[in-house]
Every structure is written in C-alpha cells, then in structure tokens.
Amino acid sequence: MVMAWAAACAPPGVPANPPEGKEAGLSRAVAGGESVRGVLRFFDLEGGFWGIVSDGGERLRVVGPALPAWRDGVRVVARIKRLPPGPSLQQWGEPIEVVDLRIEGAAPEPRRE
C-alpha cells in the first residue's frame, strides 16, 4: 500500500538520465522568481526526485515535473519560486518550483554526496 502511494506521488516519467531533446534546458515560461546557480541532481530515493544544490550549498527540492532535457550533474541557472515548507517523502531540501531553467554546460559534475 505504501509503495503504491509513493509511486503515485513521484513525478511521472522522470528517469535518472532522460533522453536529449530540443528543449536544451529551458523549462516553463512563468514570470517571476529568484535566480539560483548550482548543480542539477537526480536522487533515486522514494520514487526519485530532482534537486538543485546551489553554489552556496543550499539544497533545493524541485516540486513538479521535469523536462526531458534535464541531466543529472549539469550546471544550471534557474529562476525559482520558493514554496511553503511541508512534509515530504524525500525529506531533503527546501521545496521550490522551477520557473525557468538554463543548462550552462553539457558535461556533468561528479557526485560529492
């Protein structure tokens, strides 16, 4: 029962290394948000989720669907909207919505976590 609930809460179609697409890093075009620079990470825990580890070390958990162009370990500049804190299965990072995301480089950075 818990496994089915966890699977239902995971963003649909979010593989660890999604196929390349034409989007080349741009996501939803929604006005507003603050700018964050860091590394995009996919965590294969509790159904899988995406996060951004900012250059300042802040952990930001992406709430919502990912785009096919997203790659684990690439450097990004993102415009984000901070969401109210609340319980989550992942128990990692501050919840955010990605307003816009630009991939800075194609080469992934190695994991340090």
The residue ranking higher by pLDDT, 8 or 77, is 77
Domains defined for the chain, CATH in brackets: 2-10+18-103 (2.40.50)
**H or E stretch covering 44:** none
Q: Rounded to an integer, what distance in angstroms lies between the CA atom of residue 51 and that of residue 93?
A: 8
Instruction: Provide φ and ψ at 2, rounded to 5°.
Output: -65, -40
pTM score of the predicted model: 0.65
103: nearest Cα among 31, 43, 20, 34:
20
pLDDT value of position 87 = 73
Tell me the per-residue pLDDT of 71-105, one tens digit each, with 9 for 90 and over: 899 999 999 999 988 777 677 889 999 999 999 87
* 9-56 tens-digit pLDDT: 434 343 333 333 333 333 333 456 799 999 999 998 878 899 999 999
How confident is the model at residue 21, as a pLDDT? 37
Instruction: Return the SS3 of 100.
Output: strand
